[in-house]
Amino acid sequence: MSLAEFEHRILVVDDEPVIRKLLTRVLERANFEVVQAVDGLDGIEHLQKDAGLRLVISDLRMPNCGGLDFVRRAIGEFRRDFEFILLTGDGDKSDAIDALRLGVREFLDKPVDRADLEAAVQKAQERLLERDREHERVRKLELENVSKAKTLDDITRKLGGAEQEMIDRLSLISQYRDIETAEHCVRVGLYSQLLADMAGLDTQTQRSIRLAGILHDIGKVGVPDSVLLKEGPLTDAEFEVMQRHTEIGFSMLNASDNPVLDQAAQIARYHHEKWEGTGYCNGLSGADIPMVARIVSIADVYDALRSSRRYKPPFSHREAVDIITKGDGRTTPDMFDPKLMSLFLEHNQRFESIFDSMPDQMV
């Protein structure tokens, strides 16, 4: 596999002309087209002008806008996949740790060794290619779902067409009451379908959990605005009111002969239960929690961590995975089904691909 087999263009950001020249010479010999920037601000301008730049080599220490600020801005401002390779020197270790939290995976010590540079670039290319393939897999999956729906008999078409519209319309109701996007609801359904597939559930359950997962928070329509839309943390009494959205959602969706709505009711009621028994509203634990709710629990927490909310900024994919699998004081690994957690950890990049393929459309 040649270095330039996948990405043929690369952005080099460094304030030292000698370093830029050295890196450019090595990369051009590997048939890359190199774009140069003299600092982070210049790098941001190049990314604004050229949406095709995804592979970036940047120094950490630069005037005006250093490497760490540059990475933060690039991730925050542009809806595209990036791979960053950071050049580090003595005294840069703390910044390198912060960069890891942002999702940076490749670091090179200065002076840069040619073989190390080529190896780092190849690994970065492979990660970009893997995510591109996953994006395409998700798109094909959605197209296959549409195609299959067109070939079903009248009853199944009713479930695949009118039911999908019903789910979409019901999910819109909750979005009028809560400042969350339609993409959040749909992504939770897609993560849930993916996890159900990996857990070995049958194809019909996989499909229905994708639809039912969209409605996991429909009960929020019954929570007062003073609680639902409050800026900042809730009091204990307010949190008790918020918890009722699980039972409200269950009441809205229960007692239906429709199998998807029946599954949606179970998800709405139990998706805040925790494996170790400290969740709400029924304090269930372990296998007493329905499998579909255990699946949606992981999907909902992952997407909530990745998304911007009134009370918090978005976390990077790596930060979200670490919080779920290692804990942060508020979230702990023992809240989740350990077998599902293992699947999530093993295949977490597929969750990242779904999130990146369907960004929030804020209005």
What span, in angstroms and rounded, lies between the C-alpha atoms of 220 and 234?
A: 15
User: Before 185, cis peptide (omega within 30)?
Assistant: no
Active-site positions read 220
Domain with CATH 1.10.3210.10 in the chain: 152-357
Helices 317-326/291-306 angle, 10° precision: 140
Structural tokens at position 270: 């139990």
User: In this predicted model, what pLDDT tens digit does every residue of 158-198 receive, in sequence order?
Assistant: 445 555 655 665 655 655 555 455 678 888 989 999 999 99
Per-residue pLDDT at 153: 44
CA angle 155, 158, 161 (to 5 degrees): 145
What is the distance between the alpha carbons of residues 160 and 145, in angstroms, rounded to a whole number? 9
**Residues of the chain under the 50 pLDDT cut:** 1-5, 146, 149-159, 179, 362-363
Q: What is the pLDDT of residue 326?
A: 92
Sign, CA torsion 128/132/133/135: positive
CATH of domain 152-357: 1.10.3210.10
pLDDT (0 to 100) of residue 344 = 94
pLDDT of residue 225: 78
What was the pLDDT predicted at 150?
Answer: 47
Distance CA(325)–CA(323), nearest Å, equals: 6
Tokens of 226: 């003073």
Q: Which fold has domain 9-130?
A: Rossmann fold (3.40.50)
Token readout for 332 is: 């702990």
> Residue 180: what pLDDT?
55
The Cα-based distances of 77 to 24, 72, 134, 311 in angstroms read 26, 8, 23, 20
As annotated, the residues of the chain forming the CATH 3.40.50.2300 domain(s) are 9-130
pLDDT of residue 154: 45
Q: Using DSSP, state whether 92 is helix, strand or coil.
A: coil
pLDDT for res 139: 64
